[in-house]
Amino acid sequence: MGNTAHDAGKTAVIALGGNALMRKDVKFASFEEQRRVVEQSARQIAEIMDQGWRVAITHGNGPQVGNLLLISHMAHEENREMPEIPLDAANANTQGSLGYLIAQAVRNASTDNGERREIAAVVTQVVVDPRDPAFYNPTKFVGPAYGIEEANELSIRLGWKMKEDRGRGWRRVVASPKPLDIVEIATINKLMNQGVSVVTVGGGGIPVVREGKHLKGIAAVIDKDRASALLATNLGVQLLAMITQVSNVYLDFSKPLQRTVEKMRVDEARGYLDKGQFPQGSMGPKIEAAISFLKNGGSEVLITSPENITEGFRGRKGTRIVS
C-alpha cells in the first residue's frame, strides 16, 4: 500500500476492549465514569508514545451503541414524531463521542508528561458485503443485559433478536459482517506518516455498502478485533495490541488445569483455536484477528489487560503471538 506508517519508527495498532472504556460491573455508565476508566489506559498510551511509538487506537462500542438505541427508542415511545436513530448512525454517534474522549485523555496525559503529542480522532467507515451471511444470523451483542421475561417482551414489542450472553443475561444481537475495506485508510496513513497518532475504526467502523460509486450505511456492527487486524495490515504496523479483560491468554480457561500462555507461534494459535480452546464469545475473535494480521505480514500481536499496556509493550506482561 505505497507509503505506509511502517516506514518510520515503531508503529502499533492498540485495540481497546470494552473494559478499557467502562467497568464490566456497570450496566449504564455515565460519561464521567467512562472518562475515569479511559484516563487510566490513556496514561499508559501516552507513556508508550513518549517511548517513540506512533499508534492508531481502535475501540469497542457495544454497550454505548446499545444504550443509545435504547434512549432513542424510549424517546420515540414517548413521542412518535421523534424518529429513531438507525444503527449505522448510532455507530457514528458513539464513534464520535468515544473518539473525543480517548483523544482528549491521551492528549492530556502526554501534556502531563511534559510532551505535546498530536492525536486526532477520525470518524471511519468500513465497507461490508450486503450479501454477507452474517445478515441472516445475527451474533453481535449490543446494549445491556436483561432477564428472560424482559428480553421476551422486548423481542415481541420491538422485533429485536435476543440471545443469551453467558453469565450476564439476555442481550440484543445484530449482524456482524466481515470488514472488507477501510474508506478513510489513505487519510489515516497520511496522519500517521506526519507523526500524528489516530483514534480510528471505533466500534469496528461505521458499516457501509457500495452502491455503484456511492457508499450507504447498513444496519450492522462490525467486530472491533477483525477491523483492527484489517487496519493494522493496511497500515503495515509492527505490532497489534489487543487490550481485554484478562492479563494473558489461557489454555483450559477457568478449568482446574488452567495455564498461562506467555508466547505462541501463529500455527500453535491456529491449532488451539481448532481444538476449541478459544470460544467465540470470548477469546476466539481476538485469536482469529491475531492470526489474520500475522498471516498478512504482521510481526507480532500482544494480548493483555488495560493495567498492563506499558509493561506489555516492554515485553514483560501479557501474551505474545508471533509469526
Give the per-residue pLDDT at 268.
97
pLDDT for residue 67 is more than 90: no
Q: Respond yes or no: is residue 52 known to be catalytic.
A: no
**Of 17, 19, 99, 234, which is the active-site residue?**
19
| CA-wise closest residue to 290 among 314, 267, 311, 309 | 267
* Distance of alpha carbon 50 from alpha carbon 59, whole angstroms: 21
Q: Respond yes or no: is residue 18 known to be catalytic.
A: yes
Give the per-residue pLDDT at 314.
94
The whole-number average pLDDT for the span 33-57 is 93
- In the chain the domains, ranked by start, together with CATH numbers, are 5-127+181-211+221-322 (3.40.1160.10)
In this prediction the pTM is 0.91
Question: Mind listing the pLDDT tens digit for each residue in 145-176?
Answer: 889 999 999 899 888 899 998 888 999 899 99
The whole-number average pLDDT for the span 207-221 is 96
* Distance of alpha carbon 208 from alpha carbon 108, whole angstroms: 33
Of residues 267 and 112, more confidence is placed in 267
* In contact, 138 and 174? CB cutoff 8 Å: yes
Q: How far is CA 288 from CA 16, 223, 224, in A?
A: 16, 11, 12
Residue 67 DSSP SS3:
helix
* Distance of alpha carbon 35 from alpha carbon 21, whole angstroms: 8
Give the per-residue pLDDT at 288.
96
**Of 203, 234, 286, 317, which is the active-site residue?**
286
Q: Respond yes or no: is residue 19 known to be catalytic.
A: yes
Q: How far is CA 97 from CA 14, 17, 146, 178, 223, in A?
A: 18, 16, 25, 24, 19
* Distance of alpha carbon 10 from alpha carbon 27, whole angstroms: 37
The whole-number average pLDDT for the span 27-39 is 90
**Of 17, 62, 203, 224, which is the active-site residue?**
224
Q: Respond yes or no: is residue 152 known to be catalytic.
A: no
Q: Give buried/exposed letters for 31-51 (b at 16+ CB in 10 A, else e).
A: eeebbebbbebbbbbbbbbee
**Of 91, 140, 308, 317, which is the active-site residue?**
140
pLDDT band for position 3 (50/70/90)?
Answer: very low
Q: Respond yes or no: is residue 224 known to be catalytic.
A: yes
The whole-number average pLDDT for the span 291-295 is 97
Percent of the chain surpassing pLDDT 70: 97
The whole-number average pLDDT for the span 4-20 is 75
**Of 17, 18, 66, 202, which is the active-site residue?**
18
**Within 113-265, where are the H helices?**
148-158, 185-193, 224-235
The whole-number average pLDDT for the span 80-95 is 94
Give the per-residue pLDDT at 305.
94
